[in-house]
Structure 1
Amino acid sequence: MYTITLEVNQICNLRCDYCYLGEKTNQIMPEEIACKGLEIAFLNVEKHKDKRLWVDFVGGEALISFALLQKLVEYIEEEAAKRTIAVSYSITTNGTIMNNEVLEWLVNNRVHLKLSIDGTMETHDRNRKTKHGIGSYRNIMQNISYFREYEERTKQYIQVAHVVTQNNYWEAFKSVKHLVEDLHFSIVDSSIDVTHRWTVEQLDKLGQEWENILCYYIKKKENGQAFLWAPILDLKKYGEEYVNSGFCGVGLIQIYVKTDGGIYGCAANLESSGCLGDVEKGFSVRKIKEYRELANQSNACLKCNIHAKCQSCKCIMNNLSYSNQINGYNPDMCYFEKKKITLWNKYDKKIG
């Protein structure tokens, strides 16, 4: 499968403290740029055996550009039919913009829905505010009936994106439990804000929160009330006999296209160091080759006893963004990786 992420706009009705886009330009992706980016994706998909394409729409708040999304899906469907390509869609939304027209479009096109929500109202509103400084939790709750109907009609679970930051990490377990118990979501993806330095004390506390969530996950599973906590998928990789932790596939199996047509490996690094080219001129083959050869370079990671199964060193764009070196690494995530491996060794039999 080949994945293209289209940043359809840099416009948002929220002002989240940790947004990876930072200060937004208020640009909307021109349809011409989107189509050129998709053409690159189509050409790459045609080289893959399964001929499957995943199109991920993001913003800003992607649904602000709903008319553009409709046009793009129509174009993609036409092109995919000509090329015998199977297409899947996903969209990330802050959950504040929903109506019957949007719901029908999501359902009819079986768009996988990713909803950003950080936990309880108190936790969520701490970082996810409107431009007037008001928390957005209540806005999401006003639309909760749409999300319930979406799951009922599509038979697809909504994936909720829960961001762990330096002002909520001690509430990670409480947040996940709220999303599962109170809001009845079945897929929770907890991710860590890596744009700031973490202290050892903070990561130790977060490790304890991770363990609490893991025990909760195991208990729910044993009681026949299983939900998917996305970090479990990473933990399970530690149980594989051998994992090649080298090249992650940026440029070869996935690209991120910004509103201005710049092509990046993924959202983990949207700085100049993560740019692979643009939709007009195409890829920088030299850069992709450098990334691909990363696994063979002699660096600190290769000397580490967990290197073969490390998930952190595999994230080239994050490491490049952090260290500004192609063979660098993020020491915070390195430390937390060892925490996660400890959890796997302790609970692997129960995780299954």
Structure 2
Amino acid sequence: MIHQYKLKGYNIVMDTYSGAVHVVDDLAFDIIALYEQIPTEEIVAQMLEAYANDPEINEAEIRETIADVEELKNSGELFTEDAYKELSIDLTKRQTYIKALCLNVAHTCNLSCEYCFASQGKYKGDRAIMKFEVGKRAIDFLIESSGYHRNLDVDFFGGEPLMDWRVIKKVVAYARSLEEETNKKFRFTLTTNGMLLNDEVTEFCNKEMYNVVLSLDGRKEVHDHLRKTVAGIGSYDHIVPKFQDFVDKRGDKEYYMRGTYTHNNVDFTNDIFHMADIGFDKLSMEPVICDPSEPYALTEEDLPEIYRQYEILADEMLKRDEEGNGFTFYHYMLDLSEGPCVQKRISGCGSGTEYIAVTPWGEIFPCHQFVGDEEFSLGNIWDGITQKDVQCQFKQSNCYSKPECENCWAKMYCSGGCPANSLHATGSINGTYGFSCDIFKKRIECSMMVKVAQSIREMEAEEQAVTE
């Protein structure tokens, strides 16, 4: 299976199953589109007619290009057969071990964001703060359930996790104390709205946190419209100076600014550029996932503008990169040389199997977006995974378990999409949320174009350096 598209002057051909990406001229682009549809002689005839006014294109050139396409096919870089369908069946039978957990240390928050999927941090339940004994047992459970995995990830989440700051520090210290004797290595992440950031938190995060996610929606008027304090006051002026100070002290350690765009700011690139302009260079902006009846919900009518915005983003990233003040965008980060393993390409994030969420009272859910939905409760950190049938649903969910994914060129990039988004949109974790799929595919096209343009620039710079 292949996917062809033209964007910003580049003719790009993606081969789904090999992962190969080709940048070709117009003739090759047109031949590839016909290559498996009609016989060679018909391709030659059609190309001669199509390029009749191009003096550089003749029959010999056309046949040579067809031969090049055939060579790419024979080498496994074009029209590659699907070798992974049977593997997807094997993956559903495999023994899985937990290697990451989202520790919901606080089911409460000091903001009251209107679009919050977690019901302003309460997850449709009572407000709660995790006790150290629960966090300690969660770390023990993770180690016990990790099998052969040596590197273990823990994300401190909420609500607002910094409202349980003392427990976070104690849990980190406890986990570190076990690393040598258990031969495990912990990587910690913190997701925060920034309201409680201070020098102590910053110093600790720079020492212990592998990554820190900072929540900011962009421009002041956009951010303050939906991200207010419990008193109804916008939070932009309070958190931005804190974020700037934090990032300045963070140095070269990982962080990223995570925003959410809604129907209110379909021109979300202006929010991304605003964040870049005020000093942040690792950025993410996600489409809101919410009830379609909400006034800020994205609509099908928004899609053309959303597509245009992702193209604007790609152009601006290339421009700023060339000027020496570039930034990274989370969804445009592609590794074409290696990338994720085949198992991850098929199965995705591993929610419910390799990744779990733990509530303040120790209940286990497949991920933070399922917390509070008792249908998807997996058990608890004392008794372990007791609802094996529920976990099995997640083990069987992948890009081959969804009929709508069968002929989709992007399935090896999205792994079938987010199970939580699928559930909320269709009522099933094996459903397909078409709106989200459309946005994802556009992001992949744009990110691939950025990667292609950067690679070509690098090659041209190397060639120029050799000739000088």
Q: TM-score, normalised by structure 2?
A: 0.67
Which residue is 1:319 aligned to?
422
Q: Is the 8 A contact 2:364 2:378 kept in 1?
A: yes
Tell me which of 185, 189, 201 is aligned to 2:280: 185
Q: 2:428, 2:263 → 1: CA distance? A: 25
Return closer, same or farther for 1:93/1:247 CA change in 2, 3 Å cut-off: closer
Which residue is 1:265 aligned to?
366
2:120 counterpart of 1:18: no
Cα displacement (A) at 1:145: 5.5
Q: 1:118, 1:309 → 2: CA distance? A: 29
Q: Secondary structure at the match of 2:153?
A: strand
Deviation string 1:139-187 (CA, Å, 9 cap, x unpaired) is 01342453144323xx3143111111222222x1111101112x21111
2:329 counterpart of 1:229: yes
Return closer, same or farther for 1:120/1:326 CA change in 2, 3 Å cut-off: closer
Q: 2:276, 2:399 → 1: CA distance? A: 42
Cα displacement (A) at 1:253: 2.4
- Structure 2 alignment gaps of length 5 or more: 1-97, 293-297, 456-468
Q: Secondary structure at the match of 1:167?
A: helix
Return closer, same or farther for 1:10/1:36 CA change in 2, 3 Å cut-off: same
For 2:285, give the aligned amino acid.
S
- Structure 1 alignment gaps of length 5 or more: none
For 2:422, give the aligned amino acid.
N
For 1:75, give the aligned amino acid.
Y
Cα displacement (A) at 1:117: 0.6
2:99 counterpart of 1:2: yes
Structure with greater Cα Rg: 2
Q: Secondary structure at the match of 1:55?
A: strand
Q: 2:136, 2:306 → 1: CA distance? A: 42
Cα displacement (A) at 1:307: 5.4
Which residue is 2:458 aligned to?
none
Which residue is 1:281 aligned to?
383
Q: Is the 8 A contact 1:2 1:253 kept in 2?
A: yes
> Which deviates the most, 55-64 or 302-311?
302-311
Q: Mapping of 1:150-189 within 5 angstroms?
A: 150-152=249-251, 155-170=252-267, 172-181=268-277, 183-189=278-284
> Which deviates the most, 220-229 or 118-127?
220-229
Which residue is 2:290 aligned to?
195
> Which deviates the most, 161-170 or 341-350?
341-350
Tell me which of 45, 60, 67 is aligned to 2:166: 67
Q: Secondary structure at the match of 2:398?
A: helix
Deviation string 1:122-149 (CA, Å, 9 cap, x unpaired) is 1110111011111001101342453144
Q: 2:391, 2:341 → 1: CA distance? A: 28
Cα displacement (A) at 1:80: 2.0
For 1:193, give the aligned amino acid.
V
Return closer, same or farther for 1:332/1:263 CA change in 2, 3 Å cut-off: same
Q: Secondary structure at the match of 1:129?
A: coil
Q: 2:202, 2:340 → 1: CA distance? A: 40
Q: 1:294, 1:158 → 2: CA distance? A: 30
Q: Is the 8 A contact 2:229 2:235 kept in 1?
A: yes
Q: 1:288, 1:91 → 2: CA distance? A: 26
Return closer, same or farther for 1:318/1:273 CA change in 2, 3 Å cut-off: farther
Which residue is 1:42 aligned to?
143
Return closer, same or farther for 1:214/1:236 CA change in 2, 3 Å cut-off: farther
**Structure 1 vs Structure 2 CA RMSD:** 2.8
Q: Is the 8 A contact 2:346 2:398 kept in 1?
A: yes
Cα displacement (A) at 1:218: 1.6
Which residue is 2:86 aligned to?
none
Tell me which of 211, 216, 224 is aligned to 2:316: 216
Return closer, same or farther for 1:174/1:289 CA change in 2, 3 Å cut-off: same
Cα displacement (A) at 1:224: 3.0
Q: 1:133, 1:44 → 2: CA distance? A: 43
2:128 counterpart of 1:31: no
Which residue is 2:231 aligned to?
132
Q: Is the 8 A contact 1:297 1:327 kept in 2?
A: no
Which residue is 1:95 aligned to?
194
Q: TM-score, normalised by structure 1?
A: 0.88
Q: Is the 8 A contact 1:99 1:146 kept in 2?
A: no
Higher RCO by CA contacts (8 Å cutoff, separation 6 or greater): 1
For 2:270, give the aligned amino acid.
K
Q: Secondary structure at the match of 1:16?
A: coil
Return closer, same or farther for 1:293/1:143 CA change in 2, 3 Å cut-off: closer
Q: Is the 8 A contact 1:10 1:59 kept in 2?
A: yes
Q: 2:335, 2:438 → 1: CA distance? A: 15
Q: 2:398, 2:263 → 1: CA distance? A: 31
Deviation string 1:206-238 (CA, Å, 9 cap, x unpaired) is 12111111111122223333321001026969x
Q: Secondary structure at the match of 2:103?
A: strand
- Percent sequence identity is 25
Q: Is the 8 A contact 1:248 1:316 kept in 2?
A: no
Q: 1:144, 1:241 → 2: CA distance? A: 34
